Amino acid sequence: MLDKQHRLPPSPDQRGVGLIELMVGLAVGTIAVIVMMQVFAFSEGQKRLITSGADAQINGQLAMFSMERDLRISGYGLTGTDCTQMQGYNENADPKTVTYSALPVVISYDSTTQSDQIEVRYSLSAYGSIASILQQDVATSDPDTTLQVNYGKGYKDKDMVLISQPGKSCTLMQLSANGVIASPGVANTTQDGLQWALTHDADATDYPFNPPAGTNIFPTGGYTAGAKVRTLGSMVNKRYYVQGGNLMMQDLNQIPGTNNPVQIASGIVAMRAQYGRDSDGNGDLDTFDSTTPSSEREMVAIRLALVARGTQYDRDYSGPASLTLWNSGPSVTFSGDDRKYRYRAYLTTIPMRNTIWNNNP
């Protein structure tokens, strides 16, 4: 063991780290950390932008799919009614007497949301396209009367039925029993066979769409023999609209409540639509505009556009002040922080197959 007198002098390479070296090391490490954080922040921002775009794409496609499905089938059971409006009754509504357009699709603009509202109507019954013929005059919607028709198979308890006659408004009623052959048997006036009876009793709980005695929703003079009666099943009667950045759907047959309306898709900030019209009656689509068609035969397609917004706010991005949805068509404007988001527009033209089929000879 070496004593103090025989210890080796310290080597120049073993003098330790000085203050200058320590400060340089800390500076280099800090710069490296800053660079790594910047790279991470940039990468994370890009990932969020990509994810945001994917969210907008999913929401837009979901919203478009839901609406396109309804618009394609719109008008089923309502074509050939030759009426401009439908009169009805709803015990749970205020006012209780309600009026709907007889068109399968109705477009109306809401300036506060820069969006259209779209109403869609069609039958849910497999017999919806088959009209029965009224065999006896019926003057009022009084529940003590019945609808005597030439054929009533497929008319079910609680089904909605539509009565139509040229020159008069249509009327919606609700069946209170399955269609049955009238008793005693009465022969049809329009064909062989016996008449069927369709009852529509008034009951605020079970049959809220039938008016009570003393409340007549039929047009003046009622309906005469030869009027058409169609079963609509539970009848789809809904409205699509944009509210609070969401696509909403309201069931117009029911009063607003916990589950009415419902959210269909989030991130939808605008919806615009136009009628595709056959303005000259030759069976071909020739005009896209916002003019309400005079009848369902004039309406052969719907042009639809949805604008979906991504979820990522980007303070370094400034989007366009407006977005034109199609040539010579409407535009959606953006201002303030709305321009800090990225948007996707979805456009399609939907043929209304039930109307097209009905127009064919």
Per residue in 75-107, pLDDT tens? Answer: 888 877 878 889 999 988 888 999 999 899 999
Upper half-sphere CA count for residue 137 (Cβ side, 13 Å): 6
Q: How far apart are CA 143 and CA 86, in angstroms?
A: 19
Tell me whether strands 160-164 and 170-174 are parallel, antiparallel or unpaired. antiparallel
Q: What is the DSSP code string of 261-280?
A: SEEEEESEEEEEEEEEE-TT
Q: What is the pLDDT of residues 240-287, one digit of tens each?
A: 999 999 999 999 888 777 788 999 999 899 999 999 998 888 878 889
Could you tell me if 211 and 264 lie in one domain? no
Supply the pTM of this predicted model: 0.80
In the predicted model, what is the mean pLDDT of the chain? 85
Could you tell me if 30 and 64 lie in one domain? yes
Q: How far apart are CA 299 and CA 258, in angstroms?
A: 34
In a domain, 103, yes or no: no
* The total number of structural domains that make up the chain: 2
Could you tell me if 358 and 261 lie in one domain? yes
Query: In the predicted model, is pLDDT for residue 354 greater than 90?
Result: no
Could you tell me if 229 and 277 lie in one domain? no
Could you tell me if 276 and 354 lie in one domain? yes
Q: What is the mean pLDDT of residues 97-118?
A: 91
Asked if 201 and 176 count as a contact pair (C-beta separation under 8 A), the reply is: yes
In a domain, 106, yes or no: no
**Domain endpoint, select from 234, 267, 300:** 234
Query: In the predicted model, is pLDDT for residue 360 greater than 50?
Result: no
In a domain, 11, yes or no: no
Residue 91 token pair: 């015990």
Could you tell me if 243 and 290 lie in one domain? yes
Residues in the chain, how many?
Answer: 361
**Domain endpoint, select from 186, 214, 234:** 234
Question: Where in the sequence is the domain holding 49, given as residue range(s)?
Answer: 20-80+239-361
Residue 159: per-residue pLDDT: 94
In the 8-state DSSP scheme, what is residue 256?
A: S
Question: 305 has which bridge partners?
Answer: 272, 347
Q: What is the pLDDT of residues 305-335, one digit of tens each?
A: 999 888 778 887 788 898 888 887 788 888 8
Q: How far apart are CA 313 and CA 135, in angstroms?
A: 65
**Domain endpoint, select from 234, 256, 287:** 234
Cα dist. 360→282, 297, 353, 354 in Å? 10, 10, 11, 10
Q: For residue 337, which of 310, 358, 360, 319 has the smallest C-alpha distance?
A: 319
Q: For residue 293, which of 223, 352, 218 has the smallest C-alpha distance?
A: 352
- CATH code of the domain in which 194 resides: 2.40.30
Residue 71, number of CB atoms within 10 A of its CB: 23
Model confidence at 304, pLDDT cuts 50, 70, 90, reads: very high
Could you tell me if 139 and 152 lie in one domain? yes
